[in-house]
Amino acid sequence: MKKLIYLFSIVLILVTASACTRDKAGILFNKQPITEKNIYDYSTNFPVGSRIYYVILMPKKVESRYIYIQVVKKDNDYGRLGYKLIQTRNIRLKDEEVHYFTDYLVLNESGYYFMKVYSKDKPQKVLAAAEFYVRN
């Protein structure tokens, strides 16, 4: 009987203490248009005035099919001090884009930038975030 109670308590501790992770949304940047062949050739450093291609990967379907994208620049190259809102976009996802969205942007100022993606379902929660640099 003691072995059964001991075994049950071990199983209970393992179930409650194990950390389950779920898939999270992510953003990948690339210097070339993103395809299945080059999706893993991502980069975070880009020249000024060039196209910055990105793909937003969402493992869970966005029910409202609307996402908000923000691009924010930090005031210096080291990622400290103030912020400057560069671009915001409201996007309606098409039927084939419920798990991803791809596009590009062009930035003409060098600096440290980050992109945040929100869902209309929960606009206070960041769905995905990533940072990148634009340099001369």
Q: Cα 94 to chain center, whole Å?
A: 19
For residue range 48-75, list pLDDT tens digits in order. 999 999 999 988 887 788 999 999 998 7
- For residue 15, the model assigns a pLDDT of 65
pTM for this predicted structure: 0.78
Q: Which parts of 75-136 are beta strand (E)?
A: 83-92, 100-106, 111-119, 126-135
Q: Is 74 exposed, middle or buried (0-12, 13-18, 19+ CB in 10 A)?
A: middle
Strand-strand pairing, 126-135 and 45-47: parallel
Please report the domains of the chain, with CATH numbers, ordered by start residue.
22-135 (2.60.40.1930)
pLDDT one digit per residue (tens) for the chain, 136 residues: 777 777 777 776 766 666 566 678 899 999 999 888 888 888 999 999 999 999 999 888 877 889 999 999 987 655 566 788 899 999 999 888 888 899 999 999 998 899 999 988 888 889 999 999 999 8
Q: How many degrees, rounded to 5, is the angle at CA 113 between CA 40 and CA 41?
A: 10
- Answer for the pair 60, 119: CB distance below 8 angstroms, yes or no: no
- For residue 122, the model assigns a pLDDT of 84
- For residue 63, the model assigns a pLDDT of 79
